[in-house]
Amino acid sequence: VAELRELLESAKCVLFDFDGPVCRLFAGHPAREVAADLVEWLGRHGWGGLLPSEDAPPGDPHAVLRAIARADAGSEMVGRLEARLTAHELKATRTAEPTEFAADLIHALRAVDYQLAVTTNNSAQVVTSYLQDRGLIDCFDGHIHGRTQDLFRLKPDPDCLFRALDSTGASAAQSLMIGDTPADCEAARKADVDFIGYARNERKMTMLRDAGATTVVGSLQSVLRAVRSE
């Protein structure tokens, strides 16, 4: 807790990854089904060969996007693929599961004047829609930074963090990111932003530790307590 307090005290801006720290976006519309649909869609349009391995389609929709970005597929197709993923994500927001203590943490941080932003590989439109439905959008003052059509800029590239720093006016040293994947940890390191890992299970905990995260919590309640100085 002392460690969390120190991180929070040196920060004035908190950057949230979306899927994981805010909600489990694909709780009711599984990510692997979304990835399979994207793979199937690519195949139907004659672009299946762009994916590295047909017999093992990646279970992560963003892995499909990354693979397509690497394949240099052309902006029209990338735009259509990205739009298809956005439609899936919008559908997923309806059955997304709020992360325990996320809403309380967001409100508690705002109550003591932290600036808040979202830095995500998901679509900003999707994040905005989720936060609106849960009455949390006002806490973020429009600082929602999602993926662009430049798929090379997905995390672990720090692009969305840099956009958040630009829009909030906070420096990297004044910022702290909460994320749940090695890509978040790496993006924060590249942007020189402190990092708190959120791991809802042992597997995620190990992945974050292996990626070099030194502060990892199993529940956002620990962070909430540190904010409230409990």
Q: Which of residues 2-31 bind Mg ion (CB under 5 A)?
A: 17, 19-20
Q: Could you tell me which residues are beta bridge partners of residue 13?
A: 115, 175
Pick the closer one to Mg ion by CB: 20 or 182. 20
CB 83, min distance to Mg ion, A: 21
**C-alpha span between 39 and 73 (Å, rounded):** 14
Residues 6+ apart with CB under 8 A from 10: 173, 174, 176, 194
Point out which span in 176-184, 185-193, 205-213, 222-230 binds Mg ion (CB under 5 A).
176-184
Phi (first) and psi of residue 216, to 5 degrees: -130, 130
- Of 42 and 220, nearer to Mg ion (C-beta) is 220
| Closer to Mg ion by Cβ: residue 30 or 49 | 30
What whole-number distance in Å separates Cα of residue 210 and Cα of residue 128?
32
Q: Return the beta strands (E) in the chain as ranges.
A: 13-16, 23-24, 97-98, 115-119, 144-145, 175-179, 194-198, 216-217
Site track 44-83 with Mg ion (rule: CB under 5 A), x = hit: ----------------------------------------
Which amino acid is residue 88, in one-letter code?
A: H
Which pair of structure tokens corresponds to residue 4? 């969390």
Residue 89 in contact with Mg ion, rule: CB under 5 A? no
Kindly state the smallest distance separating residue 202's Cβ from Mg ion, in Å.
17
Give whichever of 18 and 162 is closer to Mg ion, judged by the CB atom. Answer: 18
Told to check if 186 binds Mg ion by CB under 5 A, we report no
> Could you list the residues that contact Mg ion (CB under 5 A)?
17, 19-20, 180
